[in-house]
Amino acid sequence: MSIAGRIEPLDEGIILSDQDFDAIAQFAYKHFGLAMSPSKKPLVSSRLSRKLRKQNIKTFKDYLKRLDGPNADQERSELLSLLTTNVTQFFREPHHFETLRKDVLPPLIERAKKGGRVRIWSAGCSIGQEPYTIAAVLHAMLPDADRYDIKILGTDIDPVVVKTAEVGQYPLEDFEGIPKEYKMQLEAGAKPETGRVPQFLRNKVTFGVLNLIQPFPFKGKFDAIFCRNVAIYFDNPTQQKVWQAFQKSLTPGGYLFIGHSERMSGPAAQYMKTVGITTYLNTPG
């Protein structure tokens, strides 16, 4: 029998029927852009079962009602957390930060020194280690960056990870992979086994909650966008829309960095020139 045809019994006898799975998959697609094939059914079943049991929810039908009920925002964000991973790390896919140091930041720093504006966006930033890495590279090149109009924005659809990102406190082992030249001096964390990204780096990053499948609320454009290991959750039409929205949000000559298993496609591809591994330069007309 195919996975789609199976009924997954949960510990307490709660059944995830094909119909309930389809309803959850449709909800996740509509609200978060997540594409979930029937092969995801066992995963959805096992992850949601714990939640239903904990909250004493008897059926998936009752659960689905809650997603539109009075606590909908919290229920929706918990569902998203259960369906996606927040895996991230400092200097993940390090070649992108080498390009940032060598090619992207030097002209932007020059512009900032002449009074210009510089904006970098980490879209789908999870708990914040990606935007703090950008801040660390910037700080190494321009220790007095605070004097200039340079801002880094980190956003994610999940308010829980955005809160963690704002605090900037992580287990000590998370800091171990940081290359020597960027070793951030850590502040003491609230617990002895944690460290905190120091204030001077935290000052450089602003965080916010933002769903990438909805229209972006920004007036100005970005000089570089990092959106890595996020579009992997989207189907092709959604990916193409998001690439196009990024292309329109970039300055001419702006850079887009995407995840190692993601590829540019659709209408944006004609303007986004490959200039490195999963690295694109916006070259409109």
Ligand X SMILES: C[S@@+](CC[C@H](N)C(=O)[O-])C[C@H]1O[C@@H](n2cnc3c(N)ncnc32)[C@H](O)[C@@H]1O
**Residue numbering of the annotated binding site:** 86, 88, 92, 130, 156, 211-212, 228-229
Which one of the listed residues 76, 119, 156, 158 is annotated catalytic?
Answer: 156
What span, in angstroms and rounded, lies between the C-alpha atoms of 100 and 254? 11
Among 45, 126, 278, 279, binds ligand X (CB under 6 A): 126
18 is catalytic: no
- Which residues, in sequence order, are CB contacts of 62 under 8 Å at separation 6+? none
Which one of the listed residues 47, 101, 111, 117 is annotated catalytic?
Answer: 47
The two three-digit tokens of residue 157, written as one number: 């659809």
- In terms of CB distance, is 14 or 100 closer to ligand X? 100
| Whether the Cβ atoms of residue 152 and residue 134 lie closer than 8 Å to each other | yes
- In terms of CB distance, is 4 or 277 closer to ligand X? 277
Kindly state the smallest distance separating residue 232's Cβ from ligand X, in Å.
8
Among 87, 114, 180, 193, binds ligand X (CB under 6 A): 87
Binding flag, residue 175, ligand X (CB under 6 A): no
**Spacing of C-alpha 238 from chain mean position:** 15
Among 150, 157, 201, 224, binds ligand X (CB under 6 A): 157
Q: Provide DSSP, 12-77.
A: TS-EE-HHHHHHHHHHHHHHH-B---GGGHHHHHHHHHHHHHHTT---HHHHHHHTTSTTHHHHHH
Kindly state the smallest distance separating residue 17's Cβ from ligand X, in Å.
26
Phi, psi of 278 (to 5 degrees): 45, 40
Exposure of 110 in the CB half-sphere (CA atoms within 13 A): 4
Q: Is residue 258 helix, strand or coil?
A: strand
For the chain, how many residues are written? 285
Binding flag, residue 124, ligand X (CB under 6 A): yes
* Selected range binding ligand X among 20-28, 132-140, 197-205, 223-231, rule: CB under 6 A: 223-231
Q: Which residue is nearest to ligand X (CB)?
A: 88
- State which of positions 177-216 bind ligand X (CB under 6 A): 211-213
Closest by CA position to 45, among listed 17, 5, 64, 77: 17
Amino acid (1-letter code) at residue 2: S
Among 41, 76, 92, 202, binds ligand X (CB under 6 A): 92
47 is catalytic: yes
DSSP state of 234: B
Chain residues that interact with ligand X, rule: CB under 6 A: 32-33, 84-88, 92, 124-126, 130, 156-158, 161, 211-213, 228-230, 233, 259
Active site residues: 47, 156
